[in-house]
Structure 1
Amino acid sequence: MLTLWGRATSSNVQAVMWGLEEMGLEVRRIDAGGRFGGLDDPAYREMNPMGLVPVLKDGDGPALFESAAILRYLWGTYGRAPFRPDDAGDRAVVDVWAEWGKHVLCGAFTVPVFWAHWRTPEEDRDTAAVAAAVARFEALLEIVAPRIDRGGFVVGDRLSLADIWVGHVLYRYFTLDIERAAPPAIEAYYRRLCDRPGYATHVMVNYDELKGVRRSG
């Protein structure tokens, strides 16, 4: 049995859960982190010494942490075509764009935009810095947009691991109260993703509880 520790409002948990559903895998998710706590418990720290989510266990196998590593393990172990192409070269291309999506695209959004805007109290926000970060993020979207426009997805005409990392961040991008100038191909791509049951269930999750509020006292 697959077991995943992590709260539903974690974007990294969302990516893993969406990937699991696209691969047709059943998982038991245990709330952890955020308002659920538990990340400093000795048993959890033994699974993930960083005290972050998610953590995955596949039966009696070792505890795995780092969301990209978890998804690569699942993709390599359980993935089937077309989500995991049969051809080794095609798999390498998917892996390249998955790596880019996780570390370049998401890296340009999560902290510089989402944390700096939504998770920072409104009175403490640096709006100019957020606007500049949005522009940098959109410049990266312009890089992948032609690929998506040609085939419908990041690599070809079928959803793959690359789309999990590129696509999951778009829900927050398109729903934050920020000024946007998304490439048309990205807007169309996002609308298609919203029609996928796994995306709607695991990615389109209300994130109001993450809004930054200045603590009094």
Structure 2
Amino acid sequence: MLRVLGKASSINVRKVLWTCAELDLEFEREDWGSGFQSTHSEAFLALNPNAMVPVIEDGDFVLWESNSILRYLVNQYGGEQLYPTAPRLRARVDQWMDWQATDLNGAWSYAFMSLVRNSPAHQDPEALAAACRNWARNMTILEQQLQRTGAYVSGEAFSLADIPIGLSVNRWFQTPLERPALPAVQAYYERLNEREGYRLYGRNGTP
């Protein structure tokens, strides 16, 4: 059986769990990370030298990096409905997954650490204000894309791209900050809540 190593509260672990739910794929999860088994242990570093979750073990196959894991799972377990084989359709999914991992993740990092984690190292008012503006700017890019598609990130159908981006949208709505009106993002958030996998794993790891 597929093993997922990582605590359920981790946003990157939840990507994997939600994908498993979409694929109706059984798995066993083990708690690793802050507050649980140390990712700096010799056993874990043998699996992922970066000491980060998630890691999967699928038989004798070990893989880390959350978006790579998502792509592997849909390719290995019949997820073409989430990750189409047609090059242009697949490229559009990849484009938005990569955007989430770089631009969008980078935009919310400081604000999340400041406002949710209350990190002492992230309490500079000017840096926080700049981070909130940058986060809102990136969410406006998502708003414009969702207005174009009228449904999901890469088009009319739910795709693999909606998993990492959907988790980021949850983080946007769960962080206590002043948000601009983004009606397409709001409608998208409500649409995602209709999916069982999102209800199980998309909302901070709690149903």
**TM-score, structure 1 as length reference:** 0.86
Q: 1:206 to 1:44 in 2, by over 3 A?
A: closer
Counterpart Cα distance in 1 of 2:121 and 2:104: 27
Q: Please give the secondary structure, in 2, of the residue aligned with 1:17.
A: helix
Distance 1:131 1:199 in 2: 30
Distance 2:205 2:20 in 1: 20
Q: Which consecutive residues of structure 1, in runs of 5 or more, have no partner in the other structure?
A: 208-217
Alignment of 1:1-217 (within 5 A): 1-61=1-61, 63-109=62-108, 111-121=109-119, 125-149=123-147, 150-205=149-204
Tell me if structure 1 keeps the 8 A contact 2:113–2:122.
no
1:40–1:86 Cα change, 3 Å: closer
Shift of 1:82: 2.3
Q: Is the 8 A contact 2:169 2:189 kept in 1?
A: yes
Q: d(CA) in 1 for partners of 2:91 and 2:31?
A: 33
Cα offsets for 1:186-208 (capped at 9, x unmatched): 1111111122111111121269x
Conserved? CA contact 1:138–1:182, under 8 Å = no
TM-score of the aligned structures, taking structure 2 as reference length: 0.90
8 A Cα contact 1:23 1:80, kept in partner: yes
Asked if the contact 1:23/1:83 (under 8 Å) is kept, the reply is: no
What is the aligned length? 205
Please report how far the alpha carbon of residue 138 of structure 1 lies from its aligned counterpart in structure 2 after TM superposition: 1.6
Task: Work out the percentage of aligned pairs sharing the same amino acid.
Answer: 38
CA distance 1:133–1:86, shift in 2 (3 Å):
same
CA distance in structure 1 between the aligned counterparts of 2:25 and 2:14, rounded to whole angstroms: 14
SS at match of 1:34: coil
Q: What residue identity is the alignment partner of 2:21? A: E
